[in-house]
Amino acid sequence: MLLIEGAKSGPYNMAADEWCAAWAAHHGTIILRLYRWQPATLSLGYFQSYDDRKSHPTSQPCPVVRRPSGGGAIVHDREWTYALCLPAEHPLAKDRLSLYMTVHETLANWLRRWGAGAVVLRQEDLPNRCGPNPSRSCPFLCFQRRTVGDIVAVVDRETFFGNQLPPERALEMDGTTGMAHPSQSARTSTVKLVGSAQRRTRDAVLQHGSILIGQSSWAPELPGLWEVLGHEEPIAENNEIFRDFAVAWPPMLAQVLGWRLEHFPQSVGRDALFNELFTRFSSQEWTCKSRSSTG
């Protein structure tokens, strides 16, 4: 089932993701939900402390929501978010990493259609990656972290960043698989364009992720696809890239997995479950949980 929704608030989006996961489990089907955010919102990973947002001053004006999944904070603005909901007994739901890689390979293919040198990171590329319950040494923002399955674009370091970043392991792309490989050259660097996280329950698996289309004024340190393609002016909200993602990527995923896309037959339910979830994700008690209380 495919559900594409317009821009919604943070609490709505988080409640809708969990509602779709429950619906998928109850009906034994798969739901792919695509959506955007209004207004621009900072989402915290489940294990992050609310107080950690003070480390990122430019996003302070944004409303905040806490995700049910882990990982770093995301500024949802010039991007698309997807949520893939599967019953726990579905074969693809059994293997956490396989699900990441399968979805991300199709996302990398979509990015490469637009001319980005997109690669999917493997374990050997990340000797010092952040874990699922990161320490304070990990960057606050998701798109400043690197973990297995992330999609990055390979860019010329000097042209793209100048002297702003310290040296890092460069990556070169295997043109056959699109996977990342270490390179001896220090002339290239990486820009993260896609990151995902999962919430796994007894009945369902919810995987949601962010595809960074363009740089946000609330997180100006993070370039997106638009900037990787060489544009200096901010991307317009009506740019064709936004529409192309919603139109072109779902069939790419369906083809790889052998699925038949059908539009979701109803809107996200305004039922008792949705109302309960919406109340949770809207509450200060949930959003402002401390690090110790989220473990």
Q: Residue 6: its pLDDT value, please?
A: 87
Domain boundaries defined on the chain: 2-294
pLDDT score for 267 = 77
| Per-residue model confidence (pLDDT) at position 182 | 41
Predicted local distance difference test score (pLDDT) of residue 178: 40
User: Is-contact 180 119, C-beta < 8 A?
Assistant: yes
Euclidean distance between CA atoms 21 and 4, whole angstroms = 15
Q: What pLDDT, on the 0 to 100 scale, is given for residue 157? A: 72
Give the H/E segment covering residue 181: strand 180-183
Low-confidence ranges of the chain (pLDDT < 70): 124-137, 158-159, 161-186, 290-295
264: tokens are: 């979701």
- Structure-token pair, residue 53: 């947002």
The fold for domain 2-294 equals: BirA Bifunctional Protein; domain 2 (3.30.930)
Q: Return the pLDDT at 128.
A: 56
Q: What is the DSSP letter of 267?
A: P
The helix (run of H) or strand (run of E) holding residue 27 is helix 10-27
Residue carrying structure tokens 């637009």: 114
Kindly calculate the radius of gyration of the chain based on its CA atoms and give it in whole angstroms: 18
How far apart are alpha carbons 118 and 174 in whole angstroms?
A: 10
pLDDT at 184: 38
Report whether 10 contacts 210 (CB < 8 A): no
Give the per-residue pLDDT at 176. 32
Task: Read off φ and ψ for residue 64, nearest 5 degrees.
Answer: -125, 140
Q: What are phi and psi of 12, to 5 degrees?
A: -60, -50
Q: Give the helix, strand, coil percentages of the chain, each rounded to 5.
A: 35, 25, 40
